Amino acid sequence: MATDLQPHLQTLAHSPGDATALAAVEAAYRAEGRIEELLRVVEDNAQRVEPNAAAMLWRKAAGICLNELKSAPRAEAYLQRALDSAPSDAEALGMLRQILIERGDLERGAEVWEKELARTTDARTKAKGLIAVADIYGTKLRRDDKALSTLRAAQRIQPKDPAIYRGLAAIYEAQGRLDQAQAALLSELENGGPTDDLMSRLGQLAERLLHRPKLHELARAAVEAVLRVRSHDNRAQALKRELDTYKSAWSLKVTDLVQRAVEAARTDPNQAAEAWLTLAEIQLVYGEQPEAALGSLDKAVAARPGHPGALRLMEEIYGGQERFDELALKLEMMAGYAREPAVAVDIYLKAALLYAVRLDNPDAAAKIHLRVLALDPGNKVSSNALAEHYRERKEWNKALEVLRAWADKATQAADKVAAHYACCRIYEEELGDRNAARPHYEAILTLDPENQAAARALEDVYRAAGAHAQLARVLKAKLAGQRGNDRVAVLSELGQLLAGPANEPAGALKALGELYQLKPEAKLRERLEELAAMAGAFADLVQILEGGLDRIKDNADRVQALHSIAALYEGARDAPLEALRIHRRILALAPADARAKESVERLMQSAAQTGDKIAFYREQAEAAGSDSERAGILHKLATELVDTVKDYVRATDVYRQILKVAPRDAAAVEGLLALYRRDNRWAEVAEVLRIKTEGLSGAARLPVALELARIMEQRLAQVDAAVDWFRDALTVSPGHTEARAGLERLLSRAREVVPIAEVLQPYYLKD
């Protein structure tokens, strides 16, 4: 360690975050390639300053990871800590958003971008960003609902931005909502003026509207908008003439459409249905013949059962004449003849809605919902409606039967939870049977481990029964709904439970460790040391104790806590240079502390004795004639740093230097993994393992993929990444038990359920 850095390190010990001292240390460490050491210095300072300053330092660490180490995963971990310190930090949100989008996690990236834009004050910048977010939702994620809501938010901010209306028009047109697409394009023209592209899109939309006689007035408005700008536009003039002919020659078009529909029925039912629908619209709009239009619509849905456009127009005609009973009966018959269950379900649900809302005939609606459930046992709409029907009539057993079937057959975890919870309400509120509700609450907690209602219902039951493991699970769920000091009592009970009857020292260390960080006390610190010894988790203990330092108000108590941390570093953790850092902090608080003075002097002498040897290896490495020779010398240096100097941070930098000249050096990869695992730096472990998989295939890849999946699920709480690695493992080893169990376990927690279901389906079919 360079002598001229000592004053700056001393300054940082006294005044964490001091800009001048930190800049000097950063410059020196960057020059020597000691990036890991620099990161540890930044971390140490970030943990000892107020939240906004901490966020700035965590951002700095993220920038170092991105620019020096080219490690987006590590940068992401630091940015999460920045946002934990300052949730409104727009710069951290922007950096995180860029990382997520670049790695293809578009959904999270869009969500973070929205949070970032919520903190942006410039209206133009905010609107532009929202338009970009909407593009991600619409074109990449196929979430038109999110894209539309985002564009409407942009519209409220910048109502005259033509790009907003362009985006709205594209979505509406793709959805077949041609009336709204036309309105959006005209707004784009009004606010942005004519362009070749816009005029072309208006003309194309007018052509589509031409085929929907019911929307001819909108087509005419679009054509006229084009002609006002380009009076000689040939296509627009032709469209205008075509629209004009409908008024005088609609009967001829009827004859033509009938012939076209009959011919298409032999080869293309969809085309036939479209022809009958167009004919119905002509009969309704130009001929003012609603009965004839209904006859054409009957033929449209006969050609293609459930045709959405035909059904909409049919509902409009019958509804306009308040002939809801006829419509309901027709829909029932139509659903009964439909060959595809999904089509039948959709039509049945329309009929049920008519019976319930328009005809006030709930019994008829209930009968239809029973038919729906016969076709689709997990149908959410019919299950809810039928359960409510029986509840209103106090037919509790029938309601429970429907809800239990829904819980069993539903494909979405949220629906299963809703079904079980509805059962609980009936048992508790209507039947007064809390014992019968218990298995449903337990099922809810399995599906949703953080469910607060289930936790409240089961807590006293498990406590009274002395069911320690189950009570611990409930208390963990309860913690998910609590923040700050509200967690103290639950953490205390959970920690004592895990330390005692449940006999889970690692879990107790985690719970009581968080309690210590909220309310650090000497007695609790001693208990944590005992638990860490039992669990062999001294790395966790160090992080816990350092995390609680800022809440210790009394300097004497803080010094004692620092002595405990220093002893851990020098003893169980065998990291004397980390101990040196802590002793410096002690002297910043208590300059006369004899133990700290003696330790600093001793540790500095030890570091100085090995400094010459390290310098020798570095000179040899710089003078090496080839990459392989340089890697060999650096391996010797890394061994010296790990085994003799115990400078694990600098050893990490050396292993990274080896991988720069020899990216496939297996010993360097394993050395780096060992150092990161030693300090429980799981984001870093995951990053190295990802690099390791790039050179692996077949059986050699399997254990690495599984370890990555475990780390993502259990250590980093990245469910979707865990899913990806379990799927990777199944690709390498089809049917692998752990990988399959992992996917089944994460099915209810993943953002995208369909890809998991597609992977698991073949195994269920075999079973």
Of 40, 53, 103, residue with least CA distance to 82:
53
554 belongs to a structural domain: no
Q: What pLDDT shows up at residue 609?
A: 64
Token look-up 């004449």 returns: 321
User: Can you say how many angstroms the Cα of residue 57 is from the centroid of all Cα atoms in its chain?
Assistant: 25
Question: Are the C-beta atoms of residues 247 and 240 closer than 8 Å to each other?
Answer: no
Contact partners, residue 414, CB within 8 Å, separation at least 6: none
pLDDT in tens, 8-38: 988 998 899 999 999 999 999 998 889 999 9
Q: How many CB atoms lie within 10 A of CB 551?
A: 12
CA–CA gap between residue 398 and residue 436 (Å, rounded)? 16
Q: What pLDDT shows up at residue 610?
A: 65
Question: Are the C-beta atoms of residues 648 and 575 closer than 8 Å to each other?
Answer: yes
Q: What pLDDT shows up at residue 754?
A: 81
Of 131, 136, 141, 140, residue with least CA distance to 166:
131
Domain residue limits at 10: 1-31+38-49
CA–CA gap between residue 234 and residue 237 (Å, rounded)? 5
pLDDT in tens, 649-660: 999 999 999 999
In eight-state DSSP terms, residue 554 is S
CA–CA gap between residue 151 and residue 418 (Å, rounded)? 32
Is 260 exposed, middle or buried (CB count within 10 Å of its CB: 0-12, 13-18, 19+)? middle
Residue type, 344: A
Q: What pLDDT shows up at residue 766?
A: 65
Using DSSP's 3-state secondary structure scheme, residue 224 falls into helix
122 belongs to a structural domain: no
219 belongs to a structural domain: no
Q: What pLDDT shows up at residue 468?
A: 95
Angle between helical axes of 123-135 and 144-157 (0-180°, round to 10): 170
CA–CA gap between residue 588 and residue 581 (Å, rounded)? 11
Residue type, 702: L
pTM greater than 0.85: no
Of 667, 604, 666, residue with least CA distance to 636:
667
Q: How many CB atoms lie within 10 A of CB 500?
A: 11
In eight-state DSSP terms, residue 355 is I
Question: Are the C-beta atoms of residues 53 and 69 closer than 8 Å to each other?
Answer: no
pLDDT in tens, 220-236: 999 999 999 999 999 99
CA–CA gap between residue 411 and residue 60 (Å, rounded)? 44
Q: Which two tokens stand for residue 22?
A: 């930190």
568 belongs to a structural domain: no
Q: What pLDDT shows up at residue 353?
A: 97
Q: How many CB atoms lie within 10 A of CB 67?
A: 11
Query: Backbone dihedral region of 696: left (phi > 0), alpha (psi from -120 to 50 degrees) or beta?
Result: beta
17 belongs to a structural domain: yes
Q: Which two tokens stand for residue 677?
A: 């695992």
Contact partners, residue 649, CB within 8 Å, separation at least 6: 36, 37, 40, 577, 578
Q: What pLDDT shows up at residue 471?
A: 97
Question: Are the C-beta atoms of residues 724 and 734 closer than 8 Å to each other?
Answer: no
CA–CA gap between residue 97 and residue 366 (Å, rounded)? 48
Query: CA distances (Å), 257 to each of 208, 212, 247, 282, 609, in order?
Result: 17, 13, 16, 10, 97
338 belongs to a structural domain: no
Which positions of the chain have pLDDT values less than 70?
1-3, 607-612, 764-767
20 belongs to a structural domain: yes
Q: What pLDDT shows up at residue 146?
A: 97
Q: What pLDDT shows up at residue 767?
A: 56
C-alpha angle 69-73-78 in degrees, rounded to nearest 5: 85
599 belongs to a structural domain: no
Q: What pLDDT shows up at residue 10?
A: 86
Q: What pLDDT shows up at residue 645?
A: 84
Question: Are the C-beta atoms of residues 653 and 623 closer than 8 Å to each other?
Answer: no
DSSP H helices in 480-537: 488-499, 505-518, 522-535
Q: Which two tokens stand for residue 732?
A: 């390498």
How many domains in the chain? Answer: 1
Residue type, 398: K
